[in-house]
Amino acid sequence: MIDFSPPPHVQATVEAIERFITDELEPIQRDLARHLSNEHLYLREDGRLAPEVLEAQRTIRRRSAERGFYALHMPKEVGGGGFCLTDMFFVHEAVYRHGIGVTQWLLSWTEGPNQMMQFLSAEQKQKYLRPMIRGEWTAAYAITEYRGGSDVLSMETRAARRGDEWVIDGTKAYITNAPYADLIMVCAMTAPERRSAGATLFIVERDTPGLRIGRTYRTIMDDGMTGELLFENCRVPLANTWGAEGEGFYISMGMINWIRVRRGGMCSGLGQYLLDRCVSYVKNRQAFGGPLSRFQGLQWMIVDSYLDVQAMRSLSLHCLWQADQGNLWTLKVDPSLIQAVCALKVFCDEALYRVADRAVQVHGAYGLTKESGIEKIFRIARNLRIPGGTDEIQRVNIAKMLGL
Ligand SMILES: Cc1cc2nc3c(=O)[nH]c(=O)nc-3n(C[C@H](O)[C@H](O)[C@H](O)COP(=O)(O)OP(=O)(O)OC[C@H]3O[C@@H](n4cnc5c(N)ncnc54)[C@H](O)[C@@H]3O)c2cc1C
C-alpha cells in the first residue's frame, strides 16, 4: 500500500514545530504586525529591511537552529537533521500552512545551507558550514548577471589565478540575501571556452576588499532581500573554491535544484492556507440576503483551488519520492530526476499562482488590502515563477528529456 502520511519521526518534528510557532513565533508576529502589513515600516528608504525586521529574522533563525529545525534537510554528519526530500515536504507544508508572516523564517531558504555543500573541504565545512547550520551566518548564491540570467553560461564574471590568489571581476544581479549575507558564493568563468566545465564557485567573505554590496531592488514582493554584488579586483585565497576548478556550474545547478524541490511543500502549504481562508470567508460574508457560499460561481472557483492543492501534493510527493530514490546532490544528475524536479517546480509555481489569484477574487476588495495578507501571497506567487529558473526554462528542460 502507498502511504501518503508523514512517517512518525517527521510527524513528531512537525508537532514540535507547531508548538514552536505557537509559543515563540506568534508573539513575535504580533509585535511586528504593523511592519508586516506596511512596507513603509517593513523596509528602509534604501529598500533594505528595517532593523526590527532584520533582528526578528535573525532571532528566529538562531532559535530554530537551536531546536534543530533550521537544517533538518542537511546530513547528520554536519549537524543537520538528515531528513530526505519527502520528509522535508511535510515540514515545509506545515510551516507554510500558516501563510506568510514570520513563521517561514524558521526554515532555511536561499540564505541557508544546502546539500551541495558536501563538496566543501573539511576545513571549509568547519569554518563556513557549521556557523550556517547554527543559524549564525547566512550566504548569498550569486550566479545571475544582467546579461546572463536563464543563459547562465553567458556570464561575464571572470576569475583568474594570480600567485596564491584568485582575482574575481564582475557584477551579479538579483541575488537573494545579498544585502545581509556573511558569505558570498559567487560563480565565475575560469575557462570560458570550456563552457559548462569552465565555471568555478568561490567563497568570498563579506568584508573582503574588492567586494561591494550594491543596491537593493524594490520588487513586486518588496521583501527587502534582493541585491546587487560588485567584484572589482576581489582577491580570495586559492583554497576558497567550493568544489574543484571547473565544477562551479554543476554545483550551482545542484544548489538551484534544492530551491526548486522546496516549492512542493511551500506551494501546497500556501495553497491550503488560501483555500481555508476562502472557505471560511464565503461562509461568513453576507450578500444578497445570505452567505456568499451558496453561489455556485464561487464554489467552483474554490473547488478549482482544492483541485490545484491536491494536484500539487500528489505531484510533489511523487517527484520527491523519485528524487529520494536517486541522488540529486551530485555533479552529473540523472536526467529523469531533473525532469521530475522541473515538473514539480513549474507545476507548483503555476498552480499556487492560480490559487492566489482566485483567493484575491473571492475576498473582493478586502483581498486586495495589505491587512488581508492575501494580496501578499499573490505577489509572492507571481514572483516564484521567475527565480530558480523560469516557467519556460523548466519546460525547456522537460522538453529535452522528452527527446524534443
Ligand atoms: C526575487 C528574485 C530572487 C533571485 N535570487 C537569485 C539568487 O539568489 N541568485 C541568483 O543567481 N539569481 C537569482 N535571481 C535571478 C533569477 O534566477 C533570474 O532572474 C532567472 O533565472 C531569469 O533570468 P533573467 O531574469 O535574466 O530572465 P531572462 O533569462 O532574460 O528571460 C526573460 C524571459 O525569456 C524567457 N526565456 C529565456 N530563455 C528562454 C528559452 N531558451 N526558451 C524560452 N523562453 C526563454 C524567460 O523564461 C523569461 O520569460 C533572482 C531573481 C529574483 C526575481
Q: Tell me, in angstroms, the distance from the centre of ligand 1 to residue 81's CA.
A: 31
- CA angle 75-77-79, nearest 5°? 75
- What is the spatial distance between Cα 300 and Cα 378, in angstroms, rounded to a whole number? 19
Q: Tell me, in angstroms, the distance from the centre of ligand 1 to residue 150's CA.
A: 5
The residue whose CB lies within 8 Å of the most ligand 1 atoms, and thus the one to mutate among 390, 391, 397, is 390
Query: What are φ and ψ of residue 205, in 5° steps?
Result: -75, 150
Q: Would you state the cell numbers that stand for residue 240, as one nine-digit string?
A: 576558497
- What is the spatial distance between Cα 126 and Cα 254, in angstroms, rounded to a whole number? 21
- What is the spatial distance between Cα 307 and Cα 218, in angstroms, rounded to a whole number? 34
Q: Which of 265, 272, 208 minimizes the C-alpha distance to 240?
A: 208
Binding pocket residue ranges, ligand 1, CB within 6 Å: 110, 141-144, 149-150, 174-176, 219, 226, 383, 386-387, 389-390, 392-393, 396
Number of the ligand 1 atom closest to the C-alpha atom of 388: 17
- For ligand 1, atom 17: residue with the closest CA: 387
How does pLDDT run along the chain (404 residues), one tens digit per residue? 778 889 999 999 999 999 999 999 999 999 999 999 999 999 999 999 999 999 999 999 999 999 999 999 999 999 999 999 999 999 999 999 999 999 999 999 999 999 999 999 999 999 999 999 999 999 999 999 999 899 999 999 999 999 999 999 999 999 999 999 999 999 999 999 999 999 999 999 999 999 999 999 999 999 999 999 999 999 999 999 999 999 999 999 999 999 999 999 999 999 999 999 999 999 999 999 999 999 999 999 999 999 999 999 999 999 999 999 999 999 999 999 999 999 999 999 999 999 999 999 999 999 999 999 999 999 999 999 999 999 999 999 999 999 99
Q: Would you state the cell numbers that stand for residue 107, as one nine-digit string?
A: 526554515
- For ligand 1, atom 44: residue with the closest CA: 392
Domains and CATH numbers, the chain: 8-109 (no CATH), 139-246 (2.40.110.10), 262-401 (1.20.140.10)
Q: Are the CB atoms for 49 and 57 separated by under 8 Å?
A: yes
Mention every residue, 6+ apart, whose C-beta is less than 8 A from residue 123.
Answer: 239
Q: Are the CB atoms for 373 and 322 separated by under 8 Å?
A: no
Q: Tell me, in angstroms, the distance from the centre of ligand 1 to residue 17's CA.
A: 33
Put simply, whether the predicted model's pTM sits higher than 0.85 gets the answer yes
- What is the spatial distance between Cα 328 and Cα 213, in angstroms, rounded to a whole number? 32
